[in-house]
Copies of this chain bind each other. A is one copy, B any other.
Amino acid sequence: MPAHPHREDAAPADAGAAVDVGPLSGLVGYALRRAQLAVSRDLAEQFAALDIRPAQYSVLVVLARNPGLRAGQVALALGIQRANFVPLLDGLEARGLAERRRATGDRRASALFLTDAGEAMLARLEPLLAAHEAKFAARLGRDGRYQLMGLLHRIGDSAFDPG
């Protein structure tokens, strides 16, 4: 709440009134941005206690599900550029959560694995994630959450489609 003692500012628009964002509030992109920011901030807060960012979590999950996957495949699956995946994985490896092994058969490639510490980390992250999800599920309702997921997939799954 602004102090607003005498309000002698003549020219500017009504300072106390709510700002009119006009057509922005009706745009899918704008609503998506606001929602995504709110959710990712909340998840980042939840994971901060374990010093894990959402992007790092997503890598841990994929490695847990697909041991031995190559770096390029993980990056592709997560929609990350291969070049940007390098420092991301570096960070996980430096902390002993994931490791690169030589892939047998193709000496260019690496096979990625979660370490035991990585598995343990994933287990500790799980309840934090559950709390995060529950918060937003409560706002949406069960049907709302189900509908939202369906609608979001209609948009995001075609990320690189032409039309």
Contacts and interface: CB of A to CB of B under 8 A. Distances in A.
A157 interface: yes
Interface in A10-53: 10-13, 15, 19-24, 26-41, 43
A139 B151 CA distance: 9
Interface string A119-163: 000000000010011011101100011011101111111110001
Given A104-B9, A132-B29, A154 B149 contact: no
Contacts of A153: 31, 35
B43 A39 contact: no
Nearest to A43: B29
Mostly, the A contact residues are helix
Chain A: number of interface residues, binned into ranges:
35 or more
Interface in A88-107: 101, 103-106
Interface of A: 8-13, 15, 19-24, 26-41, 43, 54, 58, 61-62, 64-70, 73-74, 76-79, 101, 103-106, 109, 111, 129, 132-133, 135-137, 139-140, 144-145, 147-149, 151-159, 163
